[in-house]
Amino acid sequence: MSFVATRAAKAVGLVGGQRRSVSKRVVTRAKVRELFMPALSSTMTEGKIVSWLKGSGEKISKGESIVVVESDKADMDVETFYDGYIGSIVVPDGGTAAVGEPIAYIAETEAELEEAKSKGAGGAPAAAAAPAAAPEPEAAPAPAAPAPAPEAAAPAAPPPPAAAPAPAPVKRADGRVIATPYAKKLAKELGVDLSAIGGSGPNGRITASDVEMAKSGNGAPAAAAPAAAAAAPAPAAASSAPAKSAPKPAAAAPAGDGEIQPFSSMQSAVAKNMEASLPIPVSRVAYTITTDKFDALYKRLKPKGVTMTALLSKAVAVALTKHPIMYAACTPAGDGIIYNEHINIAVAVAMPDGGLITPVLQDADKTDIYQLSRNWGDLVSRARSKQLAPDEYSTGTFTISNLGMYGVDKFDAILPVGTGTIMAVGGSKPTVVATAEGMIGVEKQMTINLTTDHRIIYGADAAEFCQTLKAVIENPDDLTM
Amino acid sequence: MVSMTTNAGFRAQARAAMAAPRSAAVRRSSPSLVGASESALTTNRKSLYNRNATCRMIGHVDPRPELRSHGPVSCRAASYDYDVCIIGCGVGGHGAALHAVQQGLKTCIIEGHDIGGTCVNRGCVPSKALLAASGRIREMQNEMHLKAMGIQVGSVSFDRQGVADHASQLASNIQGNLKNSLVAIGVDIHVGMAKFVDNHTIAYGLPGRVDVGGQVTAKDVIIATGSVPFVPPGIKIDGKTVFTSDHALKLEWIPEWVAIIGSGYIGLEFSDVYTALGSEVTFIEAVDKIMPGFDNEIARLAQRTLITPRNIDSRTGVLATNVKQGVPGVKPVEIELTDFNTKEVVDVMEVDACLVATGRVPFTQGLSIDKIGAETDRRGFVPVTDKMEVLGKDGKPVPHVYCIGDANGKYMLAHAASAQGISAIENIKGRPHVLNHNSVPAACFTHPEVSFVGLTEEQAREKAEEEKFEVGVVKTSFKANSKALAELEGDGMAKAIFRKDTGEILGVWIIGLHAADLIHEASNAVATNQTIQDLKFNVHAHPTLSEVLDELFKHAEVDPPKQEGAKKSPPAKSAAAAPA
């Protein structure tokens, strides 16, 4: 499904006959080694195990991929640096661990396999000790280099209003959960607990549409802790229903009447980035721009595959070439300005499962509008399937968030940490105006709202940029060149 | 052992014979090859009759003691109806018959079911039709992929019956071609189930029919009766909700959820068809991983391209011990799963349909091979020597009886059967020949395809451990191939496994666009004993997918030859020619 990052790496490695390994941390301790949750991106604090490619007791050799980890942005293969045997797996498929926490024990020789296994079995103390021990060697803070984390700011589109009640999903009388392969896959992706919902298929079988229905709010409440739920595999579910329902009220209790749904990796990354934006002093500048010519141009280019996002990004990029400060960033220490070399426009995209990601149009000023549109189409489709490589969502130097298509007039965006400006774009609508000739006319106008890091970008800087951008958008013919 | 020169002579001959194209139409268009085999034929006819002279004399008892020891084996009068009688007209029997005629042998075939056998009627051929149709459907449903090439499609729909008809029409079409190709060159086709009377006499007939049947005699007999799907005990086939590939190929309905027991080629190909047509699939595999026969690395990539992105899941390490039939749309099929190791029932699945793809068993019952002093093994396979001669109960070859294809179980693939048939005819003609099974390619026609020849990397490393040599592995990616990128089909890789010291090719695996067509460069290299460094000098048209292999071979680094004293030529493999 989503392995682009590593696949690309492999393609390079394969040519040389050897493979390049992805960033990973394996820390030595005696002969039985711990395999730690690696930091796959600068913003990653915890990772989810998508699947173990190797099982307990299996032989592994250096450079072999042994586990697929879902970070906040993408799924990646993790390779081992050592030859040996997997002793025990501490964090199973679907489980989550913080970066630097042990996820498995690796024995160097078969003889040590038992020791490695017992380490995992005595899991509680080992796991408890780990967080204390792990950070010191290598799981240090993220690299100091400016690693922009444009976890974009625009609020995600609100979920559509709840649809009509589900047809008639029924739970099986025998308490078993029978779900089709796609339903299971979807449930895993959407974080829906299959044991909590009924099925509309034959004999109460849960189908993909039941899972979607449950997700959209009509289903029974999901269990609170997926980790705990995952511990009970399907066969165990054959045991009586009362036993299963017992833990649920207990888990749900703290939440009162509502339900708690744990964050997905991406949602927690968004939440953390939002909190990190709080200490930054920002100012806001709004501006109104007439878009009649711009819209006309878009209409002309649309049949050639040009998208509004690409066109807007192009206009912004062209305007930015005259205002380097607008795509600069403040140093993490707050003592200087980083003037970026590239105009990389990050555009916030709401994901269908509630996350938010900012695919980046690299060098938008230098790329022609058609290529830009193609790049964008590709980025969005791969973002939806979580296949973006880190440099495809984390290298933006200016962010755009557009809610115009929802008819939003104007809104406020939160500045992503590590960048200087985010631009919130409202919808364009016909407005009665007094023209320069003193006549009353109708023009289509839209409002943009810039949120800037006031440590480096002052109101006047933002206003000057707005002027330039207005000029570009109101005389857009140059954009096609 | 024959001397090197004779050996080489045999090999050249064998190669010329092997090179002779199978279909009559092609043969006409390449006179040079035909000429070569015919000259071989004239020189060999004499030796053939000399060698068998004793057998041709009336009333003469064969002086060779090993032949006399076979009680029921007759060594009888000269006038046989045919030189060769082939029992079974699948791809194996067909290949043998064409080569036999080309070698000047008077040939007949006895077929009890359909001309073309499993492959043409219930196997490779109709399944390719289903895969072709479902592959197009999958492609056209992949909007993003098409959009990336600037193509927009409306909604894509298909007509199940139309797809099914394509498959059945293709099968009957190929069946007709096959029959015509035999009739055109004078092969007699007798209809009926064959039964040995002795090693030169075959009786045939159809149950309940007195108007069909008879008896033929032939100097040599080739058993090519093929195989039928294997159904494990506890599973009852109803042909509707619980079925084998035989029924699935008719595509009578498209279940919403299909459990496929067995994740080998047949299972994988059907998962490709079913998921493209909108079904969800669950694999049930007794081994602890799916696609057990595959090279590990290839299996992993296959998992990512053929399994994970599709609506497929799997239950591994379990046996389907009891399958209860259902009623389509009313009552689900119930499949009882038993842990392979503990033998405990672990779950009962409920699905709409269950395809049993657990391999195939030889179709050898009713042949009466006890009449020629032989017996099938526990699973029903006819034991044979490397030269495809049937082994008698006493462990010695039964004179003049050969067995090829699925019935001997050596390599259950249509083209392997055909190659074995050619090999058997060579041996009949007195030119000892042993087929190198390591040079027989295999392919799985999923989207993308998977193909291989020889060993997996794991098998090669095991062999290296035993025989103390170093293994080299090289890999290339389809992502680096211009043609693959033009097609936006960059998913895939090729890998070659070879001996570091000699460059001998141990195995080649390909997964990616048209992998099944690409493997032949590698398999033919193995068949002709070329080393991997020989292949580096071959030229490939640019830009083509074949450059994936070009790049692969060029990456291979073979150790420089050791110092003068230890210098050795690449090991002469007894691949194409056997010791006489």
Q: pLDDT tens digits, residue range A112-171?
A: 777 777 766 554 433 333 333 333 334 333 333 343 444 444 444 444 444 444 456 777
Phi first, then psi, for residue B503 (nearest 5°) are: 80, 5
- What is the reported pTM? 0.57
Name the interface residues of A facing B (CB cutoff 8 Å).
1, 3, 7-8, 10-11, 14-15, 17, 53, 55, 65, 178, 180-182, 184-185, 201-203, 205, 234-235, 238, 305, 374, 377-378, 381
Question: What is the value of ipTM here, to two decimals?
Answer: 0.73
Contact present, A78 and A38 (Cβ < 8 Å): yes
Average pLDDT over residues A203-220: 79
CB contact under 8 A, B148 and A205: no
Name the interface residues of B facing A (CB cutoff 8 Å).
144, 147-148, 150, 256-257, 280-282, 288, 300, 304, 308-309, 311-313, 329-332, 346-347, 349-350, 352, 473-477, 479-480, 493, 551, 555, 557
The amino acid that residue B304 corresponds to is R
B571/B529 Cα distance (integer angstroms): 9
Angle at B559 between CA B558 and CA B564, to 5 degrees: 135
Residues of chain B contacting A203 with CB distance shorter than 8 Å: 332, 350
Render A85-142 in DSSP notation, one character per residue: EEEEESS-TT-EEETTSEEEEEESSGGGHHHHHHHHHTHHHHHHHHHHHSTTTT--SP
What is the structure's pLDDT at A327?
93
Selected for mutation to probe chain B from A3, A4, A6, A15 (highest B CB count within 10 Å) is A15
CB contact under 8 A, A11 and B150: no
A342 is catalytic: no
Average pLDDT over residues A242-262: 51
For residue A378, the chain B residue with the least C-alpha distance is B148
Higher pLDDT, A274 or A116: A274
- Ranges A117-126, A170-179, B479-488, B520-529, most confident: B520-529
Which ranges in A346-456 belong to alpha helices (H)?
A: 369-384
A388/A379 Cα distance (integer angstroms): 7
- Does residue A194 have a pLDDT over 80? yes
Nearest CB among A181, A201, A374 relative to B311 is that of A181
- Does residue B47 have a pLDDT over 70? no
Phi first, then psi, for residue B390 (nearest 5°) are: -70, 135
Average pLDDT for chain B: 85
Average pLDDT over residues A53-66: 79
**pLDDT band of B465, cuts 50, 70, 90:** very high
Instruction: List, in order, residues 6 or more apart from B219 with CB less than 8 Å away.
Output: B52, B55, B80, B82, B83, B84, B200, B400
Q: Which of B335, B206, B342, B316 is nearest to B258 (CA)?
A: B335
- Does residue B57 have a pLDDT over 60? no
Tens digits of residue pLDDT in B108-118: 999 998 899 99
CB contact under 8 A, B479 and A53: no
**pLDDT band of A180, cuts 50, 70, 90:** very high
Which of A400, A454, A456, A457 is catalytic? The answer is A454
User: Is the backbone of residue A121 left (phi > 0), alpha (psi -120 to 50) or beta?
Assistant: alpha
Higher pLDDT, A53 or B261: B261
What is the structure's pLDDT at B155?
83
**pLDDT band of A100, cuts 50, 70, 90:** confident
Nearest CB among B148, B331, B477 relative to A14 is that of B477
For residue B306, the chain A residue with the least C-alpha distance is A1
CB contact under 8 A, B281 and A181: yes
What is the structure's pLDDT at B416?
96
Weakest-pLDDT range from A52-56, A379-383, A404-408: A52-56
Phi first, then psi, for residue B168 (nearest 5°) are: -70, -35
- Does residue B453 have a pLDDT over 90? yes
Instruction: List, in order, residues 6 or more apart from B118 with CB less than 8 Å away.
Output: B90, B226, B227, B228, B360, B406, B414
DSSP class of residue B561 equals P
Weakest-pLDDT range from A379-393, A397-411, B496-510: A379-393
Selected for mutation to probe chain A from B315, B324, B347, B551 (highest A CB count within 10 Å) is B347
What is the structure's pLDDT at B318?
94
**Side-by-side strand order, sheet with B318-324:** B318-324, B333-339, B345-351
DSSP class of residue B504 equals B
CB contact under 8 A, B479 and A11: yes
**pLDDT band of A21, cuts 50, 70, 90:** very low
For residue B257, the chain A residue with the least C-alpha distance is A180
CB contact under 8 A, A377 and B147: yes
CB contact under 8 A, A181 and B300: no
Tens digits of residue pLDDT in B323-357: 999 988 788 999 999 999 999 999 999 999 999 99
**pLDDT band of A71, cuts 50, 70, 90:** low
Taking the CA of residue B238 and the nearest CA in chain A, the distance in Å comes to: 20
Render A264-310 in DSSP notation, one character per residue: PHHHHHHHHHHHHTTTS-EEEEEEEEE-HHHHHHHHHHGGGT--HHH
- For residue A105, the cross-strand partners are A34, A88
For residue B315, the chain A residue with the least C-alpha distance is A181
CB contact under 8 A, B311 and A11: no
CB contact under 8 A, A180 and B311: yes
CB contact under 8 A, A378 and B493: no
Average pLDDT for chain A: 74
Residue with tokens 């842990």: B339
Contact present, A65 and A77 (Cβ < 8 Å): yes
Selected for mutation to probe chain A from B260, B287, B311 (highest A CB count within 10 Å) is B311
- Does residue A15 have a pLDDT over 60? no
Tens digits of residue pLDDT in B152-211: 888 888 999 999 999 999 999 999 999 999 999 999 999 999 999 999 999 999 887 777
- Does residue B23 have a pLDDT over 50? no
What is the structure's pLDDT at B578?
41
Which ranges in B278-328 belong to alpha helices (H)?
A: 296-302
B299/B560 Cα distance (integer angstroms): 33
Residues of chain A contacting B350 with CB distance shorter than 8 Å: 178, 202-203, 205
Contact present, B84 and B178 (Cβ < 8 Å): no
Taking the CA of residue B296 and the nearest CA in chain A, the distance in Å comes to: 11
Q: How many A×B Cβ pairs under 8 Å?
A: 67
The percent of residues in chain B predicted with pLDDT above 90, rounded, is 70
**pLDDT band of A104, cuts 50, 70, 90:** confident
- For residue A429, the cross-strand partners are A445
Tens digits of residue pLDDT in A304-343: 888 888 999 999 999 999 999 999 999 888 888 999 989 9
Phi first, then psi, for residue A329 (nearest 5°) are: -140, 160
